[in-house]
Chains A and B, each alone.
Chain A
Amino acid sequence: MVFDENKVIQQVLNGDQEAFAQLVQQYEKPIYNLCLRMVGNPDDAQDLAQEAFLKAWRGLQFYKFEAAFSTWLYRLTSNVCIDFLRQQKRRPTTSLTVGDEEDENAELEIQDHRPLPEEQMVQQEKQKAVTDAMNQLDDEFRMLLTLRVMEERSYEQIAEIMDLKVGTVKSRISRAREKLRRILAKSGNNFEFESSN
């Protein structure tokens, strides 16, 4: 069944607060993942995702149907994350990048310490390398890559979410990718590529 977003929003505006759960369920995964990539740890990400949805609920009456709801929600969430990062004066490294061996795989939430199949280990190493590299990017680059690569938002939508020009989005995504690749190359991971230029 097709999810009729505007109809659900109207239901909420008409006083059916339980209908808001449908909007949460529709967007909880991308919103949580955006928060997780921005702040780097699951606990803060959950708090921020919850805060973003609460702000959306409180401010829904100000939502104009002219823009996509997803754009409005992403923009609101990005502001929540940026506010949080400003307040926290984000540490240069998060728990994801701490060199402590015991915490090394914390973000991957490995509960089972038995030896993993090689393929799975390679995959986890790759994920950790990318997570560490992402955490070394500045907030804007991290958000751009998350919105574009993970959330598959269009340049136009990202421009609206981040209040940038489309051309700026395009060029900064390019720079963000290049920076990510260089960080990964520097750490000697499998994506290493040495430019001939």
Chain B
Amino acid sequence: MICEEAWILINGHLDHENTQAEEAQLREHLEHCTPCRALLEAMEGCDEALRSLEVEPPVDLCANVMEAIRQEKPKKHHSWLKWAGAAAAAALVMAVGLSKMPVRQEPETPSVMNARAVPEAASYAAALGSTDISEEQIQELADDRIAAIVMLKETVPELQACDCEELPNGSILYALRDEKAAQTLRDAYELNWYEPVNDVPKQYYALLLP
């Protein structure tokens, strides 16, 4: 075995991924190869030092997470009936074409029209037969276009300058400049993000529901 092959097995050894046969091959090589033995020792030292960096998390991390969750509770944990009602309300708003509602800037305000709540609302609405929008369709769109898509239920000022096209179901697809623009939009309005399952996105869109 040449040293380059041994290096692969050294990594496998460190990661406990070698077969018994590979371990035997490595042992045999190390018996007569001083540089590789030194390399293994150095790598083991690096790994050991890396593991020594592990620290305990801040004592208040869990408490802080749970406190933040409790503050979000009103908009997240409704009963099924409340969700069904929310979906119906959302569907009603969509049906009467109030897609140009004012932008809601307060993400913590409980609302059935909160952007992050849309997938659930759309899902329930689909179950009720009141809309044909589904997560699967948006995912298909992302796959077809090889695009990352952020989903909006209300228009936002950032979209005014974007090129757009209307889809058959009445949704409007806005072409975003680049990944950064999409991420900025997503983070600003806490939107859901879809991207192609098997590809790196080549385009970035904002999908405004009808």
* Chain A interface residues toward B at CB < 8 A: 15, 17-18, 20-21, 24-25, 28-29, 31-33, 36-37, 42, 46, 49-50, 53-54, 57-58, 61-62, 83, 86-87, 123, 126-127, 129-131, 134, 145-146, 148-150, 155, 170, 173-174, 177-178, 180-181, 184-185, 190-193, 195-197
Which chain A residues lie closer than 8 Å to B119 at the CB level?
62
Alpha-carbon distance between A196 and B36 when the two chains are bound, in angstroms: 9
Q: Are A148 and B73 in contact (CB under 8 A)?
A: no
Q: Name B residues whose Cβ lies closer than 8 Å to a Cβ of A.
A: 3-4, 7-8, 11-12, 14-15, 17, 35, 38-39, 41-43, 45-47, 49-58, 61-62, 64-66, 68-70, 72-73, 76-77, 79, 116, 119-120, 180, 183, 187
Contact B57 A29 (CB under 8 A): yes
A193 to B15: give the CA distance in the assembly, Å.
20
Q: Is the CB of B42 within 8 A of A54?
A: no
The answer to whether A58 touches B42 (Cβ under 8 A) is: no
> SS class of chain A's interface: helix, strand, loop or mixed?
helix
Question: Do residues A15 and B77 form an inter-chain contact, with CB atoms below 8 A?
Answer: yes
Interface on chain B toward A: helix, strand, loop, or mixed SS?
A: helix
Given contacts A17-B70, A49-B57, contact A28 B49 (CB under 8 A): no
Chain A residues near B79 (CB-CB < 8 A): 15
**Contacts known (A29-B56, A177-B11); A20 close to B51, Cβ less than 8 A:** no
On whether the beta carbons of A17 and B77 are closer than 8 Å, the reply is yes
Residues of B within 8 A of A31 (CB): 57
Which single member of A28, A33, A155 contacts B62 (CB below 8 Å)? A28
- Please determine whether B69 and A149 come into contact, CB atoms closer than 8 angstroms: no
